[in-house]
Amino acid sequence: MEVLKAVAGTYRATPFFTVYISADSKSSNSNVIQVDQSGLFLPSRDYYLNRTANEKVLTAYLDYMEELGMLLGGQPTSTREQMRQVLELETQLANITVPQDQRRDEEKIYHKMSISELQALAPSMDWLEFLSFLLSPLELGDSEPVVVYGTDYLQQVSELINRTEPRWEGAQGAGGGTRGSVEIVGTRPSGCIQPHKAAFDE
């Protein structure tokens, strides 16, 4: 929880899920908090799940994360192992991420509920505390409505967080921070990505 708050506060990144405020698709005159599955850094979940076919891409991605982690102050003796843990955890996230072709029918994935109901759905997080921190200075309560896209994903993420060792959660936080810093500057740092570009372009 504290790792996620630190990453969200510093880098505006939420590694396990996406949180934003937007117009309610079923009531366009009102805005509502929306929670969805997180995006993966690589173009699709297949890159993570088919390791044999995508070995070059995954190696290049690991090299890229290691170099960027070093630029952000990582230690030479530990950064690659941390990023290897990030990649392993991202692979688990990819495994539970719902493919886009199964998300086209909004009626099936749209679920409006209160924060207290979200807490019951995915109890590994203190949702009221986290959303209040993330969306400050908004004042939220247990009855605040939230639109959740993909309840199955959030349930599985909650289970993943519960069984994840603290050091892995910290590594994922580091990886989320690495990606978050890239999002802040708006592009991949060319000095890091250029040596690995061929693998991504294949």
Residue pLDDT, tens place only, 130-183? 999 999 999 999 999 999 998 999 999 999 888 775 554 444 444 444 444 433
Residues of the chain above pLDDT 90, percent: 55
The average pLDDT across 61-87 equals 90
Residue predicted with more confidence, 108 or 5: 108
Would you state the pLDDT for residue 190? 44
**If you average pLDDT over every residue of the chain, what do you get?**
82
DSSP secondary structure code for residue 75 in this structure = -
Would you state the pLDDT for residue 185? 32
Question: What fold is seen in the domain 2-201?
Answer: Neutral endopeptidase; domain 2 (1.10.1380)
SS3 at position 98: coil
- Has residue 125 got a pLDDT over 70? yes
Residues of the chain above pLDDT 70, percent: 74
The average pLDDT across 42-56 equals 93
Would you state the pLDDT for residue 77? 85
The average pLDDT across 57-78 equals 90
Instruction: Convert the pLDDT of each residue in 11-37 to its tens digit.
Output: 566 678 899 999 999 998 999 999 999
Residue predicted with more confidence, 59 or 7: 59
Whole-number Cα distances in Å, 30 to 27, 59, 87 = 6, 45, 38
State the alpha helices, DSSP H only, in the chain.
Answer: 2-11, 46-49, 55-71, 79-96, 106-109, 115-121, 127-134, 151-163, 166-185, 190-193, 197-201
- Has residue 94 got a pLDDT over 50? yes
Residue predicted with more confidence, 171 or 71: 71
The radius of gyration of the chain's CA atoms, rounded to the nearest angstrom, is 18
